[in-house]
């Protein structure tokens, strides 16, 4: 079939991965999607309710570190494209338990790169125009001062086990391009937000606590700055990198929405006050803000210069933060059972039993 791709999406049951799978099955109907996900705590099949397995989609429960499984999928599905989301991604968890981050983010990426090299670089491969897209983060660049932006040439300076593991995997992916001429492309994105984000991350955590009148923890003075990128915009950018990007190149993907953490928390509180009313006490939800001890190695500011992807590939974010955060809060309000299932662990217990070996 013309323009057909057989695309392996790793971590397609996670936050960004699930939004990406949803985009592909609706907007890229000639592409077959093979979703490989281990269904760890942040992987949730409920994120893909309504998407049926068939000609355009297949789900496989498995570990990206499983060499035999990964190589089998490349053979069975004639994989010509990899979009690699699967990663341990929560900074706090990397501080208290870094081992999983090293295994998944570094060893897992190595396993995928090796499988792609063996499959695509073989003389009898027959794969046309392959692409290995490694999805990464702006956290690999370290911390900015009050001015300036991360560009694709900014030296890496990771400050947490999470960002160090992602920087390592970025270097591995780049090395496979330079050493083996593997068709690798890398994206580094800013903070994503939107539907299906696991409730340990800032916006869904604040939403859930504020909705139920619980304290709203804010690290340090709350003035750490992040650039916020609506997840749908990010997913559309990745499609453009697959279609138009150049091998061996990195592309920064940003939302042009720099906000202090405290301002993000306040916006969420104000939106909830307007949509569901004030607290029973009559106080606004912002009164629940509680300052807590700062995170170890907490980077002060991230900001992305997305000029390259804009000028070379024609991508621009469509969603302002004000539009995106309201859509996000509306989604969480309409899907409170999804949040509750995660908070009480019901979703994970169900799927662990379903896929028990």
Residues 6+ apart with CB under 8 A from 74: 8, 115, 116, 118, 119
Q: Which of 204, 316, 306 is nearest to 264 (CA)?
A: 204
Annotation marks residue 273 as catalytic: no
Q: 217 exposed, middle or buried (CB, 10 Å; 0-12, 13-18, 19+)?
A: middle
Which residue, 256, 237, 251, is CA-closest to 303? Answer: 256
Q: Which of 37, 80, 139, 305 is catalytic?
A: 139
Cα distance between residue 46 and residue 87, in whole Å: 19
**What phi, psi does 157 have (nearest 5°)?**
-150, 60
Note whether 199 and 342 are within 8 A (CB).
yes
Q: Which of 37, 63, 88, 138 is catalytic?
A: 138
Residue 118 and residue 111: Cα distance in Å, rounded?
Answer: 11
Q: Which one of the listed residues 57, 162, 193, 196 is annotated catalytic? A: 162
- Active-site annotation holds for 139: yes
Please choose, from the candidates 216, 186, 197, the residue with its C-alpha nearest in 3D space to the C-alpha of residue 325. 197
Helix 336-343 vs helix 346-354: crossing angle, to nearest 10: 70
Rounded Cα gap, residues 9 and 83, in angstroms: 5
**Is 141 part of the annotated catalytic residue set?**
no
Residues marked as catalytic: 138-139, 162
């Amino acid at each position: 079939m013309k323009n057909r791709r057989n695309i392996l999406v790793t971590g397609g049951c996670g936050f960004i991965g699930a939004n990406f799978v949803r985009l592909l099955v609706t907007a890229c109907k000639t592409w077959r999607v093979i979703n490989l996900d281990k269904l760890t705590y942040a992987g949730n099949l409920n994120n893909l309710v309504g998407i049926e397995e068939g000609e355009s989609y297949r789900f496989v429960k498995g570990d990206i570190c499983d060499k035999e499984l990964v190589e089998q999928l490349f053979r069975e599905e004639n994989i010509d494209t990899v979009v690699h989301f699967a990663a341990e991604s929560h900074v706090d968890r990397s501080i208290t338990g870094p081992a999983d981050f090293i295994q998944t983010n570094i060893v897992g990426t190595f396993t995928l790169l090796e499988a792609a090299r063996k499959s695509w670089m073989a003389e009898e491969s027959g794969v046309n125009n392959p692409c290995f897209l490694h999805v990464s983060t702006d956290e690999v660049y370290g911390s900015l001062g009050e001015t300036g932006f991360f560009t694709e040439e900014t030296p890496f300076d990771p400050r947490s086990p999470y960002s160090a593991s992602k920087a390592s995997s970025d270097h591995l992916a780049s090395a496979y391009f330079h050493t083996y001429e593997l068709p690798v492309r890398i994206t580094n994105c800013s903070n994503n937000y939107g539907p299906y984000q696991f409730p340990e991350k800032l916006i869904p955590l604040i939403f859930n606590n504020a909705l139920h009148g619980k304290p709203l923890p804010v690290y340090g003075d709350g003035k750490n700055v992040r650039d916020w990128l609506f997840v749908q915009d990010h997913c559309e950018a990745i499609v453009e990198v697959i279609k138009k990007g150049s091998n061996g190149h990195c592309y920064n993907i940003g939302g042009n929405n720099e906000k202090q953490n405290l301002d993000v928390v306040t916006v969420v509180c104000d939106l909830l006050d307007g949509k569901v009313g004030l607290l029973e006490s009559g106080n606004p939800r912002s009164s629940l803000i509680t300052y807590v001890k700062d995170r170890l190695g907490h980077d002060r500011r991230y900001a992305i210069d997305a000029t390259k992807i804009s000028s070379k590939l024609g991508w621009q974010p469509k969603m302002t933060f004000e539009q995106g955060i309201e859509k996000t809060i509306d989604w969480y309000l309409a899907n409170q059972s999804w949040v509750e299932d995660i908070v009480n662990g019901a979703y994970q217990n169900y799927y662990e039993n379903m896929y028990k070996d």
